[in-house]
Structure 1
Amino acid sequence: MDEFARAVEDGLKLSKRLVLPGGLPPPRPPSGMDRTVSAAAASGPDPRLLPTAPMAYAVVTDPGAVDTPDVPSYQPYVYGRLDPPAMIPLQMKEVDLAVDCALDAAHVTLRARWWLHCITRSRECDVRLVVPMGEQGSILGAEVTIGRRSLNTQVIEVEDHTVQNHVNIESGSLLKPQLFFLTISQVEGGADIYATFRWSQKLLYDSGRFSVDIPFRFPYFVNPLPKVFMKREKIQLTVNSGFSKEVLLQGTSHPLKEKGRHGDKLSFMHEAVVENWSSKDFNFSYSVYSADLSGAVLVQPATLRDYDDRDMFCIFLLPGSGNRKVFRKAVVFIVDTSGSMQGKPLDNVKHAVSTALSELAQGDYFNIITFNDELHSFSSCLEQVNEKTIASTTDWINSNFVAEGGTDIMHPLSEAMALLSSVHDALPQIYLITDGSVDDEHNICQTMKTEITNRGSKCPRISTFGLGLHCNHYFLRMLASIGKGHYDAALETASIESRILKWFGRASSTIVANISIDDIKHLDDFEVDSEYIPDISAKSPLCVSGKYHGKFPDTVVVKGYLADMKEISIELKVQHLKEIPLDKVR
C-alpha cells in the first residue's frame, strides 16, 4: 500500500495547480496537519493518505490535463508523463449510508456522488473507486453511472455452485483485505460520478453487546468549497434482532433520530447539511436483553435465484447475560514454525500464545506443539495449569518458536489427538495456527472427520487460525467446521495478536456442548451448512443455517450439556420472516 499512498501524495501536490470556482485554491488541511504530513512524508508515504472511507481518485498520467473543468487556471503547461500515475482524490458532493443489522451481520449500501473536478473538460482520465469495509467485509455489488454510461458488478452462480463476483468494469479487485477497488476508464473532465456499493460485514459481539463499525472518515481534501456546493449527509439504520427480545441502545457515533419501532425492528435516521463530511467512522452498538440462553428459528422460502429449491432456516442463539459456568479445558496449541513464519508474524503469535496460556484457569490442562518439517512438544503429556508450569513455558517458547523448514500439519494434529485421547474430566480442544497450505488437506479433513465420528461427544474441538493471504483459508474453515471449533484469520501482520486472543477467547468459553435439535424428524429433508453444530460460547452468538423440505413445527427444542454435564433444553419459537435475508446470513 506504500505505492498507493505515494500516488495520492503525488496527486495532492499536483492538485495545487487548481483554481476552483470563485478563484479559490483547493481546501486547505486543518491547522497543523500540513506540517505533520510533511514530516511524515520525509520518512516515506503518509499512511493517513490510505482510504478510511469510500473514495474516488483521478488516475493522472498526463499532468497537462490537470485543470479546473470550466474555468482555466492558466497555469504553466507541464510536459511529460507520470509513471506510475498520480491519484488526485475527487471532491464528493453527496453521500447516503444505509445499514441493515440483522442477527450477526450488517448489510451496507452506500451511495455517493463525486465530481471529476481536476481534469479539464476537453480531456479524459481513468477514475478509481475504493471502498474500505468493516469486519469480514465482503463486496456484494456495485453500480456506477457517468452521464449515459451505466456499469455494474454482480454476484453470479457458476457451474460448481460457488459464488463469484462478476465485474464488467475494466478492473475490480481487492487492494488489500477488506479494501475493494474498481477502475473506470475514460471519464471526461467535469463529469459527475454516481456510485452505489453494497457489502456485508459481521457485527462485533462483546459482553452481550452487538456493534457495527463502518469506515466513514473522509479526509479534508474531499470537501468541496462550502459556498459553492451544499453538502448533504444522510445515514439510515435498521436493527432487526430476529426474535422478540427488548433491544437496548448502547451508543452511536453520529446523531441518530429514532424513526420507528415495530416489534423487534427499529429504524433510525440522520440527515443534515454539513460543513464538512464525516471525520469519524460510523459506529452503532446495541444489546438484545436476555437473562439466559435464548433465540429463535427463522425460516424463509428459497429465493428465485437460488439453484437449490429447498427453503432456508437459521437457528440463532444468544448466550445471555447469565453467569453460566465455562467448561474445564484440556488445550493443545499447534503452532506453525515453518520458514514463512519468520519475523513479526511468529513474534506476534508467540506473544499471543503466551497471553492465552496465562488466561487458562487453575485445573485446566495444556500442551504446546510446534511444527515445520519436524515436531517439538513442550511436554510428553498434558500438563496441569499452575503458576510453575505456565512460567516454564516462557523459555521453551523462546527456544522453540524459531522459523525454519517446511509445513507438515497432519503429524502434529495426530499427535494432539493422541494427547487428548485420555481426557475425561475436561473439554478437549486443539488450536491450530498456521500461515501455509499443504498438499494433503483433503486427507487431513477426512482423517479428522473419521476420528471425530469415532470418538463421539468426547471428540476434541479443533479451532483454526490462518495468517496472511497465502494460507488456504478454505481448508482451515472446513477443518474448524468438522472439529466443531472456531475459525478466524489475520490477513495483516499488525492484527495477528489481537485477533488470536479474541479467537481463543471465543473458542475457550464453551458453556453448552454437544448441541442437538429435536422436533425435526417429520421434515422431509434437513441439512445444516456446517459439518457439525458447534458448541455455544459465552462470548459469541451461535448462528446455524441450512436448507429443509417440509413444514417446521411452531417450536423447536435445542438440547445440549452444561459444564456440570447436566442436560439443558432450550425451546425456540419458529418465525417466518421476510425482512431478514437468510441467504446473506448463511
Structure 2
Amino acid sequence: MADDFVKAVEDGLKLSKRLYFGKDRAVLPPKPLPAMDKSASADLYMPTAPMVYAVIQDPKIVDNPDIPSYQPHVHGRCDPPALIPLQMNRVDLEVDCYLDTAFIRVSGSWRVHCVMGSKSCDCRIAIPMGEEGSILGVEVEVSGKSYSTRLIAMGDNKDVEKGVRPEHGGFLKPHIFTLTIPQIDGGCNLSIKLCWSQKLSYCDGLFSLNVPFKFPEYVNPTIKKLPRKEKILLNVNTGTGTEVLCKTTSHPLKQLRRDVGKLGFSYEAEVLKWSSTDFTFSYSVSASHIFGGVLLQSPSTHDFDQREMFCVYLFPGSQQSRKVFRKDVVFVVDISGSMQGKPLEDTKTALSTALSKLDQGDSFNIIAFNGETYLFSTSMELATQEAVERASQWISINFIAGGSTNISVPLTKAVEMLTNTRGSIPIIFLVTDGAVEDDRHICDLMKSRLTNGGSICPRIYSLGIGSYCNHYFLRMIATISRGQYDAAYDLDSIEFRMQKLFTRGLSTVLTDITIDTLKDLDEFEMYPSRLPDLSSESPLTISGRYQGKFPDTLKANGVSGDLSNVVVELKIQNAKDIPLDRVFAKQQIDLLTAQAWFSEDKQLVEKVAKMSVQTNIISEYTRMVILETKTVEENSFTESSAKKASKKNDTQKIVDSEVPKTIFLQSLSLHIGFGDLTATAENIPPGYEGPKLPEAAEIFVKAASTCCSSLFNKCCCICGIQCCSKLNDQFVVVLTQLCTGLACFGCFECFSNLCCCGQDGQ
C-alpha cells in the first residue's frame, strides 16, 4: 500500500510538469528522481508533514485554474490515480504537552492549483504522526461545504461494509493516517484542521518532542508575492510542580511565560519557504532521586463516567542515584516461517545488543520456538563474555525461520526457569509475529502461576510484530505479570522497538510498587490493575477513577536495586488545567480492550466504545465516519436573513438544515486487531500484501489499454478493444502477458514523458 502511494506521488509530480504559472514563478516544477536515486524515492515521497494531494484519475483535467494553457490532448485514465501534492498557503502548529503526552493541532490552507476551474477531483489528506501517534480528528471547509470526522460505536449492520472503500480513509503506515475529501473544484482553497496525540520520548530526565513538520519544496506556492506566515505555539505543563528547563529547540521560539512546572513559547515569521525540518523540543524535569505525585480532577458534565479522576506518576531520578538490580533474563523468540527475512534478522541484531548490555552478575537463557522448542542451555547461564559469545554463535546457527507457532510450551518453560530466583529481577522477553488458538488459556495459566508466585514473580515484556499476532493477548500477559508491552507494526521499526523494550526491561530501578491507601476508597479502578516496575528509561504513570474521600497523604512503596525498601512521598494537587481524561484515554482504552478480549465481557466492550466516542480515540469497537454538511452564507439563505446580514454589514455562515451526508471509513483499528490465525498458519510474513487478481475481462481491458503514441501530435490514445467477460481465465492470462510485453510502458508513462512538459520549457 505504501509502495502504491509512493508511485502515485511520483506519477503526480510528472503530471504537474504540465502546469504553467507564467514566467514569474517562485519555484521550478518538481522533477522526478534520477534513475540512480530510485531506491531513495520511497522515503522522499512519503509525507513528512501534513500534506494534501489532488487525486487525478483523468489527466486531461490537469491545468492551472488561473492561467489556462494549451495542453496536449490525452486519452485514458491514471490507474491507479496519480497524486499531485497541493500547494500550501498557510500553516499554524499548536502543541500542548501534559505529563508524557502531546496534543498536536495543525491548521492550514491548501489550494487545488493543478485542476481546471471547470473540473473537480478528490483530495487526499495525509497526516504523519510521531511516537505512538493517535489520530483525533479532521475538519475541512471548502466551497460551501464542511467535513468533519466522528467516531461511532461499531454496529451490527453489515451492509455498511459494502460502501466502504480503503481509499476513503485509513492508515498508509501505522503512523500515517490518510483521509479523502470528495469532489473539490479546481482553484478552491481548503481550510483544514488536523488533530492527533503522540507520546514524548524520555531519557535520563529529559522529555523530547518530535512533530513531523518537514514540508517538501514543491508545496511552496509558485507566486513570489504571496505572503507566507508560519506560526508555532507551544505549551508545556509537566504536572509535577517542579522547575522545568528548556534544553533544545528546532525553531527560534520566544518565551511567553514561565511558571512552576509550566512553559509557554511562540514562533511567528514570514517565510520564503515552509519549514524544512521537523519541530523538535526538549525539556528536563530531572531530580537526584525518585519522586512522584498525584493529580486529582473532577469529571466534566458531559462525561458518561461521573466518578472522580486521579493520576499517580513516578519519575526515576538521575543515573547517579540509581542502584542496579541483578537480573535473570530469558529471551523467548519466535522463529516460525513468517519471521523469515527482515523480522528475524532485526531480532537477532537487537538480541545480540541486549546480551552485550548484561552485567556479569546477571544470568540469561534463550528459547527459540516455532512448532518445537529450542534451548540455548538447559539452565541459566552467567552473563560472562564467553557465555555471551557462545550465545551469539548459537543464535546464528539456530535462528532459522520455519515451522508453525506454539507459544505456550516455551513460555511455560521460561517461567519454570525463573521460579526460584533470589535477590534478582526475573524477566521474560517474548517476541512473536503470530497468533495462537490457546491464547486465553495461556493467560489463565500465567495468571495462576505468576500472581501466586510471590512478590517478585517473572515479569513478561512482550513485543508483537506486524498485524497478524494478537496484540491484546500480548498486552494482557504483560499486564498480568507486571511487565510491559510494545509493538512494531512497521517492519522498519522492529529493531528500534525491540531494543527500546529490552532496554526498558533491563533498567529497573524500583520494583514491587504498591499504593495501599487507595484501597480504602469507596470505589476504586486503576489502569493498569497491577503496577509495573519503574524503569530508568521512562516514568511510570497510573490513572483511574474513584468514589469517596481521597486521602490527604499518599505514599508509594517499593524495592530498590539493593533490595532495600523505598518509600516515596506523593504530593497531592488538583489538576485544574490538565485534561486527565484525554491524557490517559488511549492507555485506558487499550488496557480495557485487552481485558474485554480476555473476559469476553460485553459490558466492557460497551464501556470501551463509550470512552472511544467521548475522547475521539480509535478503538476496536468504534469506527470513523466523515460528516459532510452544506454551509451557505446567511445573506443568501433567506430574504429575511439577507436583510439581517446587510444591517450587520457582515457575512455569517450557518449550517443547512439538511441531514449531514455520512461517509463510512473502514475499521481503522484493524492494523492492530485480535490476531489472524489463518495468516499465522500459512506463515504469511508481517506487512505482506498479497496480489489482487482482477476479473478476467478487467485484466484484458487493462492490458489492451496501452499507448499508441503520436509524436507529431504529442498525444496518447487507448486501443478500443472490446472483450467478452466469459473468456477462459488461462487464455486471458496468456493474452495479458503478451499484450503487456508488446505494449510501451502504458499510456500514462508515455504522455508523462512526452507530453507533460510545462509551457515554460521545463
Q: Which bin holds the TM-score, normalised by the shorter protein?
A: over 0.9
CA distance in 2, matches of 1:312, 1:378: 47
Matching residue of 2:28: 28
Does the CA contact (< 8 Å) of 1:116 and 1:191 recur in 2? Answer: yes
Does the CA contact (< 8 Å) of 1:519 and 1:556 recur in 2? Answer: yes
Q: Residues 43 and 389 from structure 1, CA distance in 2 versus in 1: closer, same or farther, beyond 3 angstroms?
A: closer
1:91 maps to amino acid: Q
- TM-superposed CA distance for 1:452, in Å, is 1.4
CA distance in 1, matches of 2:234, 2:25: 37
Q: Residues 239 and 404 from structure 1, CA distance in 2 versus in 1: closer, same or farther, beyond 3 angstroms?
A: same
CA distance in 1, matches of 2:155, 2:311: 26
Check if 1:9 corresponds to 2:5.
Answer: no
Matching residue of 2:86: 90
1:257 maps to amino acid: K
Check if 1:209 corresponds to 2:206.
Answer: yes
Matching residue of 2:222: 225
- TM-superposed CA distance for 1:76, in Å, is 2.5
Q: Residues 431 and 42 from structure 1, CA distance in 2 versus in 1: closer, same or farther, beyond 3 angstroms?
A: closer
Does the CA contact (< 8 Å) of 2:423 and 2:563 recur in 1? Answer: no
CA distance in 2, matches of 1:132, 1:471: 24
CA distance in 2, matches of 1:41, 1:98: 35
Check if 1:296 corresponds to 2:297.
Answer: no
- TM-superposed CA distance for 1:584, in Å, is 2.2
Q: Which has the larger radius of gyration?
A: 2
Check if 1:192 corresponds to 2:189.
Answer: yes
Does the CA contact (< 8 Å) of 2:110 and 2:191 recur in 1? Answer: yes
CA distance in 1, matches of 2:20, 2:434: 52
1:407 maps to amino acid: T
Does the CA contact (< 8 Å) of 1:170 and 1:184 recur in 2? Answer: no
Check if 1:258 corresponds to 2:244.
Answer: no
Partner SS, residue 457 of structure 1:
coil
Matching residue of 2:328: 330
Partner SS, residue 455 of structure 1:
coil
Q: Residues 180 and 305 from structure 1, CA distance in 2 versus in 1: closer, same or farther, beyond 3 angstroms?
A: farther
Matching residue of 1:269: 266
Instruction: Note the alpha carbon deviations across 1:530-566, whole angstroms, 9 max, x for none.
Output: 1300111111100111111112223311111112221
Matching residue of 1:487: 485
Q: TM-score normalized by structure 1?
A: 0.95
Matching residue of 1:139: 135
1:16 maps to amino acid: K
1:479 maps to amino acid: I
- TM-superposed CA distance for 1:498, in Å, is 2.3
Instruction: Note the alpha carbon deviations across 1:182-218, whole angstroms, 9 max, x for none.
Output: 0011111111111111111010001211001011110
CA distance in 2, matches of 1:387, 1:528: 43
Matching residue of 1:102: 98
Q: Residues 521 and 529 from structure 1, CA distance in 2 versus in 1: closer, same or farther, beyond 3 angstroms?
A: closer
Select the residue among 104, 107, 113 that pairs with 2:109. Answer: 113
Does the CA contact (< 8 Å) of 1:248 and 1:286 recur in 2? Answer: yes
Partner SS, residue 126 of structure 1:
strand
CA distance in 2, matches of 1:470, 1:450: 27
CA distance in 2, matches of 1:43, 1:206: 33
Partner SS, residue 465 of structure 1:
strand
CA distance in 2, matches of 1:373, 1:141: 43
Instruction: Note the alpha carbon deviations across 1:151-204, whole angstroms, 9 max, x for none.
Output: 1112445699xxxxxx99982211111100000111111111111111110100
Counterpart mapping for 1:125-524 below 5 A: 125-156=121-152, 171-321=168-318, 322-524=320-522
CA distance in 1, matches of 2:145, 2:497: 42
Q: Residues 158 and 245 from structure 1, CA distance in 2 versus in 1: closer, same or farther, beyond 3 angstroms?
A: farther
Worse-matched range after superposition: 51-60 or 224-233: 224-233
CA distance in 1, matches of 2:203, 2:348: 25
Q: Residues 213 and 239 from structure 1, CA distance in 2 versus in 1: closer, same or farther, beyond 3 angstroms?
A: same
Does the CA contact (< 8 Å) of 1:18 and 1:68 recur in 2? Answer: yes
- TM-superposed CA distance for 1:24, in Å, is 4.4
- TM-superposed CA distance for 1:304, in Å, is 3.9
Matching residue of 2:576: 578
- TM-superposed CA distance for 1:372, in Å, is 0.6
Partner SS, residue 458 of structure 1:
coil
Larger relative contact order (C-alpha < 8 A, sep ≥ 6)? 2
In the alignment, structure 2 segments of 5+ residues that lack a partner are 157-163, 585-762
1:8 maps to amino acid: V
2:479 maps to amino acid: S
Worse-matched range after superposition: 513-522 or 349-358: 513-522
Partner SS, residue 456 of structure 1:
coil
- TM-superposed CA distance for 1:403, in Å, is 0.8
Check if 1:536 corresponds to 2:534.
Answer: yes
Q: Residues 26 and 271 from structure 1, CA distance in 2 versus in 1: closer, same or farther, beyond 3 angstroms?
A: closer
Partner SS, residue 127 of structure 1:
strand
CA distance in 2, matches of 1:89, 1:26: 16
More strand by share: 1
Partner SS, residue 475 of structure 1:
helix
- TM-superposed CA distance for 1:494, in Å, is 2.4
Matching residue of 1:548: 546
Compute the RMSD of aligned alpha carbons: 2.0
Q: Residues 269 and 44 from structure 1, CA distance in 2 versus in 1: closer, same or farther, beyond 3 angstroms?
A: closer
- TM-superposed CA distance for 1:227, in Å, is 2.2
- TM-superposed CA distance for 1:19, in Å, is 1.4
CA distance in 1, matches of 2:576, 2:427: 38
CA distance in 2, matches of 1:383, 1:41: 48
Partner SS, residue 543 of structure 2:
strand
Partner SS, residue 484 of structure 1:
coil
Q: Residues 431 and 508 from structure 1, CA distance in 2 versus in 1: closer, same or farther, beyond 3 angstroms?
A: same
More helix by share: 2
Instruction: Note the alpha carbon deviations across 1:317-368, whole angstroms, 9 max, x for none.
Output: 1101142112110000000011100111101101111110111001111000
CA distance in 2, matches of 1:482, 1:312: 23
CA distance in 1, matches of 2:271, 2:97: 26
Q: Residues 177 and 521 from structure 1, CA distance in 2 versus in 1: closer, same or farther, beyond 3 angstroms?
A: closer
Partner SS, residue 564 of structure 1:
coil
Q: TM-score normalized by structure 2?
A: 0.73
Identity %: 51
In the alignment, structure 1 segments of 5+ residues that lack a partner are 161-166
1:28 maps to amino acid: L
Instruction: Note the alpha carbon deviations across 1:64-121, whole angstroms, 9 max, x for none.
Output: 1111112212222322211111110000000011111111111111111100000111
2:387 maps to amino acid: T
